[in-house]
Amino acid sequence: MSMPDKKGHYGIYGGKFAPETLMPALAELEAAYLAARKDREFTAELEFYNREFIGRPTPLYFARRLTDHLGGAKIYLKREDLCHTGAHKINNSLAQVLLAKRMGKTRVVAETGAGQHGVATATAAAMFGLDCEVYMGTDDVARQSLNVFRMKLLGTVVRPVDLGSKTLKDAINEAMRDWITNVANTHYVLGTVFGPHPFPMMVRDFQSVIGREARKQIMKFEGKLPDAMIACVGGGSNAMGLFHEFLEEPSIKMYGVEAGGLGIERGKHAARFAGGSLGVLQGSKTFILQDQDGQIELTHSVSAGLDYAAVGPEHAFYHDSGRIEYTYAVDEEAMEAFDLLSRLEGIIPALESAHAVAYCLKLAPTLGKDKVVIVNLSGSGDKDVMQVAKIKGVEL
């Protein structure tokens, strides 16, 4: 089964719900991407930068102390935190900026929540010599100030968005408005498997390098496929990046972990599959958090990268088909996992990734010692230390 269909649909999900101004740009982008994908020169260039600039392949690391501590399945961590700039986001940003350059665009814009996608795009733009502006909700600017400064150092203009929930959703609205206005010379580097077609497909493809590497690595270490995989799900790009390669391996169970925030109550979480319903937001038909009138609800998560009202359409499809199971971790569980991984493995995870680790803490002990689990460690916690200190009441 090859998805999406020609119109960008994943079953009933996905599509291209975009203003007319962008429809030609989306068609142009799709054509450019499909041509680039088949072009040896483009793929070779991308491989080169993945290796020499991002530092791929990232290790698949056996977490011995965590495994012993939990006393169940063997746990491997896919170390996307070791990518240049500290998260998987650059796999997509770099590829899209390379594509934008090939399309003759001179400027890129992006949205960011945790700041990781913003930093990654700023980095790729600096490296390829394109102008870059990043939109970021003012709540996120406050809690991810380190990344804001990093973007500025990289020569990017950061535009705080003081609208709506003041988080990722509102940053996407503003980035889209910018793209609508400057579409002639600008490419919009969307940061996850979301938005109008072809973004969910293109971002998935660029992130799939995670799963392709993990397959080779686990076969080398274990001589067999893993029994389970876990990834956190904001828009869903790191999860889709790991899972996509293995979707047709029925023996592997897959778990997507959303942000449970303060618990599944209106406005207090970002678990779309637990508290959402079918709707259309920012170009895509999918599960969204909305009220009785169809207005988008406020969300909450300790991690800015998961704090979002909608989820990638391909995830919605696999939710319905049952191929991927979706669960959530609340703030407190993520914080516990954050501490535990830091102390047991010497790896400080991003608060987003800590949600995946949190579910691993529940799952691994229920599985036998002969079982193997891969957890996608989507990013490093370096960006989160200031916020974690604040939560713990520590003055730096």
Partner 1 sequence: MSRIKITFNRLKKKNETALIPYIMAGDPDLATTKTLILEMEKAGCDIIEIGAPFSDPLADGPTIQKAAIRSLQNHTSIADVLGLVADVRTTSKIPLILMTYYNLIFHYGEERFVNDAASAGLDGVILPDLPPEEATVLIPLAKKAGLDTIFLLAPTSTEDRIKLVCKVSQGFVYYVSLTGVTGARAGAVQSSIEESLKKIKAATDKPVAVGFGISTPAQASQIAHWGADGVIVGSALVKVIEEHVGTPELVVRAVEFARTLKQGVLAGHGN
Binding at 290: pick from partner 1, ligand PLP, none (beta carbon under 5-8 Å per type): partner 1
Decide: is 286 part of the binding site for partner 1 (CB under 8 A).
no
Q: Quick one: which of 53, 164, 225, 252 contacts partner 1 (CB under 8 A)? A: 164
379 binds ligand PLP (CB under 6 A): yes
**353 is a contact residue toward ligand PLP (CB under 6 A):** yes
238 contributes a contact to ligand PLP by CB under 6 A: yes
Residue nearest to ligand PLP (CB): 379
Catalytic residue among 89, 105, 166, 169: 89
> Of the listed 165, 303, 378, 380, which one is catalytic?
378
Give catalytic status of residue 342 as yes or no. Answer: no
Query: Is residue 12 a contact point for partner 1 (CB under 8 A)?
Result: no
By CB under 6 A, residue 283 contacts ligand PLP: no
Tell me the three-class secondary structure of the chain, residue by residue.
CCCCCCCCEECCEECCCCCHHHHHHHHHHHHHHHHHHHCHHHHHHHHHHHHHHHCCCCCEEECHHHHHHHCCCEEEEEEHHHCCCCECHHHHHHHHHHHHHHCCCCEEEEEECCCHHHHHHHHHHHHHCCEEEEEEEHHHHHHCHHHHHHHHHCCCEEEEECCCCCCHHHHHHHHHHHHHHHCCCEEECCCCCCCCCCHHHHHHHHHCHHHHHHHHHHHHHHCCCCCEEEEECCCCHHHHHHHHHHCCCCCCEEEEEEEEECCCCCCCCECHHHHCEEEEECCEEEEECECCCCCECCCCCCCHHHCCCECCHHHHHHHHHCCEEEEEEEHHHHHHHHHHHHHHHCCCECHHHHHHHHHHHHHHHHCCCCCEEEEEECEEHHHHHHHHHHHCCCCC
Residues 170-199 that bind ligand PLP (CB under 6 A): 192
Catalytic residue among 30, 111, 174, 314: 111
In the region spanning residues 289 to 318, those forming contacts with partner 1, defined by CB under 8 A, are 290, 293-296
Let me know if 378 is a catalytic residue.
yes
Part of the chain binding partner 1 (CB under 8 A), chosen from 39-47, 207-215, 284-292, 335-343: 284-292
Choose the one of ligand PLP, partner 1, none that binds residue 137, judging by a C-beta under 5 to 8 angstroms depending on kind.
none
89 in active site: yes
Chain residues binding ligand PLP by CB under 6 A are: 87, 89, 113-114, 116-117, 192, 232-239, 305-306, 350, 352-353, 378-379
- Residues annotated as catalytic are 89, 111, 378
